[in-house]
Chains A and B, each alone.
Chain A
């Protein structure tokens, strides 16, 4: 079946440092990958949408300079949180979709804590 793995599951970084998180699609080709963030006590916000062979589209309040994303092939995507601060804490979810399937599969997320 189709699965999405994210790693690390949890990570802690010092304020001002950067953290890279990865998303792996298994059992299908992830033509589109969406990165979401759930800040503490809040709902999920879309950060950016990445489609293979297209430019990555960032939502308002999120920028490539802060959240650079790589989507080099149909099974892998990564996102880095640069210069992380307290407001960047939260659960980062990767959702991946195959072009022939309307369903979006989510990973378990990467929980980021910032000290």
Chain B
């Protein structure tokens, strides 16, 4: 079975600083990888996804993530964060194209300091 580990439950960075949120997955085959964001009192929104091809994928609002197969990682990055990026970020994996059975990580709560 697949699993996702987000080792950092909370991350705090200053506005304008760069950001990396870590994610590692466990799956023997080729995974489909996602990052979702949950803003306060809201549901989930898709930030970006990786299915195949270029291992660096671009998402909304300046986010990107890099799939490194040798490291089983899919870290999320942003060059310069904004206060509005404060939210909980979930890394997720699915094992089949279009499979709704998505396994989520525990989430990382991001706080942006002014």
Binding site for B on A (CB under 8 A): 6, 32-34, 42-44, 46, 49, 91, 93, 95, 97, 99, 101-104, 106-109
Binding site for A on B (CB under 8 A): 36, 42-46, 49, 51, 90, 97-98, 100-107
* Contact indicator A108/B42 (Cβ below 8 Å): yes
* Contact indicator B44/A49 (Cβ below 8 Å): no
* Contact indicator A102/B43 (Cβ below 8 Å): no
List 6 additional A-B contacts (Cβ < 8 Å) besides A32-B100, A43-B104: A44-B102, A46-B100, A104-B46, A106-B46, A108-B42, A109-B44
Given A43-B104, A43-B106: A106 touches B97 (CB 8 Å cut-off): no
B104 to chain A, nearest CB (A): 4
* Chain A residues positioned under 8 Å from B46 (CB to CB): 103-104, 106
Could you show 24 A-B contacts with beta carbons less than 8 Å apart?
A: A34-B100, A43-B104, A43-B105, A44-B44, A44-B90, A44-B102, A46-B102, A49-B100, A49-B101, A93-B44, A95-B102, A97-B98, A97-B100, A102-B97, A102-B98, A103-B46, A104-B100, A106-B36, A106-B44, A106-B46, A107-B43, A108-B42, A109-B42, A109-B43
